Amino acid sequence: NAGVTQTPKFRVLKTGQSMTLLCAQDMNHEYMYWYRQDPGMGLRLIHYSVGEGTTAKGEVPDGYNVSRLKKQNFLLGLESAAPSQTSVYFCASSTSLVAASTDTQYFGPGTRLTVL
């Protein structure tokens, strides 16, 4: 089991450029999440998905889009990158909301994105 993997690990963009971050999990988890981590602010939820073909907005969704075409993959897109989106992005997955009170999230290694 690779667990949760993220591609790429590092990326530098210029303002206005677009890119897609890929998250993949091989644990057959229903739920997947994208977070951003900024110094002094912990993790903030951008978008999440409760199953294939579904997505929902989290705490800070503006400027991002997501897609969950396959159960194992969750893509995070930046259509027009801005310096405020410089951050470390974490993908996570978990089993289901049925046991959400005890369910833990498994995190990927993170993607460090810099927007100049």
Partner 1 sequence: AQKITQTQPGMFVQEKEAVTLDCTYDTSDQSYGLFWYKQPSSGEMIFLIYQGSYDEQNATEGRYSLNFQKARKSANLVISASQLGDSAMYFCAMREFYTGGFKTIFGAGTRLFVKA
Q: Which is nearer to partner 1, 5 or 72 (CB)?
A: 5
Q: Which is nearer to partner 1, 69 or 99 (CB)?
A: 99
- Smallest gap from Cβ 22 to partner 1, in A, equals 17
Residues at the site binding partner 1, with contacts judged by CB under 8 A: 35, 40-45, 50, 56, 58-59, 88, 90, 92, 97, 100-102, 104-110, 112
Structure tokens at 19: 């890119």
Q: Which is nearer to partner 1, 28 or 102 (CB)?
A: 102
- Smallest gap from Cβ 16 to partner 1, in A, equals 27
> DSSP for the chain?
---EEEE-SEEEE-TT--EEEEEEESS--SEEEEEEEETTTEEEEEEEESSTT--EE-SS-TT-EEE-SSTTEEEEEESS--GGG-EEEEEEEES-GGGTTT--PEE---EEEEE-
Q: Which is nearer to partner 1, 19 or 88 (CB)?
A: 88
- Smallest gap from Cβ 73 to partner 1, in A, equals 19
